[in-house]
Structure 1
Amino acid sequence: MNLSGRRGLATTAVACAVGAALVLLAATRSWQSLETIQPAPLPPLKVERTGTEIAPWLPALGVVALAGAGALLATRAAARLAVGILLVVAGAGVTVASLVTLDDDVRVAWPLLCVLGGLVVLAAGVVTVRVGRSWPGMGARYEAPARRRPGQTDLWDALDRGEDPTTGDRPE
């Protein structure tokens, strides 16, 4: 699959956003059900723990990955390389954090969905590092205006000075 050009940028950004969404979704679901025996006549106390409670850094890494998906579209060259490295770190962090939480008491489905999301973010980061420099940047209309040529009069500055820029009259 050719991941250069606009199509590669769009595919990678969408994949990164989907991976981040998977992480954010799975981290908020119940991963563990704990039951505490209480003295009679009280019933057992049941507590549901989410992935966020077990591994609090998962939502933060998911948000970083989601922001990285947007940053892929807004950056270019060295900044895009830095975003790619950040996505690799975030994806690896999600994957490791999710795998570490697996034990006998944890429901396996949600942590594995987090692992899948982390691997997608990691792959998007690797693709960005490898071919991100060949992707186009945003159009020139989104960049800061170029320096003005000497002698060029800005219409708003002329109005601020009290001039009528349509007639060329100067105030007395």
Structure 2
Amino acid sequence: MPADDPTTPAAALPEKAGPAPAGTAESGPVQAGSGESGPSPAYQLGAAVVLCVLGAGLVWYLASRVWTATLVSGVKTDETGADVAPLVPALALVGLAAGGALLATRGLFRRILGAFVMVAGLAAGVAAVIGWTSVPAGPSSKVTVYMVGCVLGGIVIALGGLWALRLGHRWPAMGARYERGATTAPAVDDDGRVDARAAWDALDRGDDPTNR
């Protein structure tokens, strides 16, 4: 049949390729992150460490302030929070060291360490309250502020430990980017679709998820 025959059926002519509708395989890479919600494991690990460090720093600083002053034989003696409640700064240092150790542990050990950090934070708050009640002649309003700050700092430490206790086994470990598992799921399949979870895992390992 001649090419310029006006009677050529419309069905025999090729159709123009239109844009793929949203949600199809072609548009998969655009919506790759739609399946992920919440912060990444690496972000959660960093946030837990920051909570422990900030809480421990606050407790240690307030425990180093003068909580009470006594006058004996005309000599004024100042006592800091560490003198009134020695456990407070000690537990703050424990929370600081354990928060840094979260970076070097993984799996079950990290969860156990998170439980230890949580207990240390709560114990620091309790020790601050006990020291506050033992201040002679009654604590002043400034000392009360110091005590409340120590309690809040202990709670912040405990929140970092609780986060590690619940989710620490999912977080990456220090040097994990240099390790290679036996098999890893590809982030991008042959059709160009992106597996959001595999992409996040690749980023946590330090790999480029688009490099197949």
Residue 129 of structure 2 is aligned to residue 93 of structure 1:
no
The AA in structure 1 aligned to 2:82 is T
Q: Larger radius of gyration, structure 1 or 2?
A: 2
**1:161 aligns to what?**
none
Aligned residues: 137
The AA in structure 2 aligned to 1:137 is A
Per the alignment, do residues 76 and 119 of structure 1 end up closer, same or farther by CA in structure 2, a change over 3 Å counting?
Answer: same
Write out aligned runs for 1:96-107 (5 A): 96-103=126-133, 104-106=138-140, 107=143
CA apart distance, 1:32 = 1.0
SS of alignment partner, residue 102 of structure 2: helix
The AA in structure 2 aligned to 1:123 is L
Counterpart-to-counterpart distance in 2, 1:69 and 1:116: 17
Point out 4+ residue stretches in structure 1 off by more than 4 angstroms. 140-143
Q: Of 56, 72, 79, which residue of structure 2 is paired with 1:20?
A: 56
Write out aligned runs for 1:134-145 (5 A): 134-140=170-176
| Superposition TM-score, scaled by structure 1 size | 0.73
Query: Can you give the 5+ residue segments of structure 1 that lack an aligned partner in the other structure?
Result: 39-43, 144-172
**1:66 aligns to what?**
96
**2:166 aligns to what?**
130
SS of alignment partner, residue 102 of structure 1: helix
**1:9 aligns to what?**
45
**1:56 aligns to what?**
86
Counterpart-to-counterpart distance in 2, 1:3 and 1:132: 13
Residue 148 of structure 2 is aligned to residue 112 of structure 1:
yes
Deviations 1:11-37 (A, max 9, x none): 11011101011111111110112234x
Counterpart-to-counterpart distance in 1, 2:139 and 2:76: 13
Counterpart-to-counterpart distance in 2, 1:31 and 1:49: 6
Query: Can you give the 5+ residue segments of structure 2 that lack an aligned partner in the other structure?
Result: 1-36, 180-212
Identity %: 39
SS of alignment partner, residue 105 of structure 1: coil
Aligned-pair Cα RMSD in Å: 2.0
